[in-house]
Amino acid sequence: MITSIRRKFFAIFAIPLACFALSTGARAEAIDIAAEPVPEFTVLAWPVSHMVNEFTSSVSGVVTLSVSRVDWGDLFSYLSTAIALPNQPLLTGSGDAQFMFNITAGERFITSIFAAAAGPRGYSAYSLGIAFAPRLSQVPLPAAAWLLLSGLAGLGVVARRRRATGAVEPARA
């Protein structure tokens, strides 16, 4: 009796759970967006999709993340994006959305995108694009100019003292 109940339970819930598991994506490691450009990728929502990614950056900079519907398949009944940043409020958006935020070196952020297709075909797609602009540190050139000028002034003082004392330079052959 218990075995037949288990079989029925498995038969009723296994296929929907398998479909949901196939449309759920997550990465185990964080993607370094500063090391190499992240290609824009398209995700199929069939009939629902939930994708979670973790990103990091080895240098500070500005991240632009965009989620947009792809004109393929059915329309979305739901497309929602959430971005979790350390020590900042949760960024959320629905439909086509674009986010721009600062990230410091070594920080990680997590994106969570949930999509559900609506229509007779039961599938749709969206694309996720990430652009990264590193923040470059400025070189302190005024300090280098002061150092050069003080070195030249020191050489001038040494040459003037030599002439005042009458020091003779050795003859060169």
Q: What is the pLDDT of residue 73?
A: 63
Q: How far apart are CA 94 and CA 78, in angstroms?
A: 8
Q: What is the pLDDT of residue 25?
A: 52
Q: What is the pLDDT of residue 128?
A: 86
Q: How confident is the model at residue 22 (pLDDT cuts 50, 70, 90)?
A: very low
- The model's pLDDT over 29-46, given as tens digits with 9 standing for 90+, comes to 678 888 877 778 787 777
- The model's pLDDT over 130-155, given as tens digits with 9 standing for 90+, comes to 888 888 766 667 777 888 889 999 99
Q: How far apart are CA 43 and CA 131, in angstroms?
A: 18
Q: Half-sphere exposure of residue 118, counting CA atoms within 13 Å on the CB side?
A: 5
Residue 2 has pLDDT above 80, yes or no: no
Name all domains of the chain by residue range, CATH numbers in brackets.
24-134 (2.60.120.510)
In Å, how far from its chain's centre is CA 60?
A: 10
- The model's pLDDT over 64-115, given as tens digits with 9 standing for 90+, comes to 999 888 877 667 777 888 898 888 888 998 888 899 999 888 888 888 888 8
The answer to whether the pTM exceeds 0.85 is no
Token duo for residue 9: 């339970």
State phi, psi for 132 to the nearest 5 degrees: -130, 130
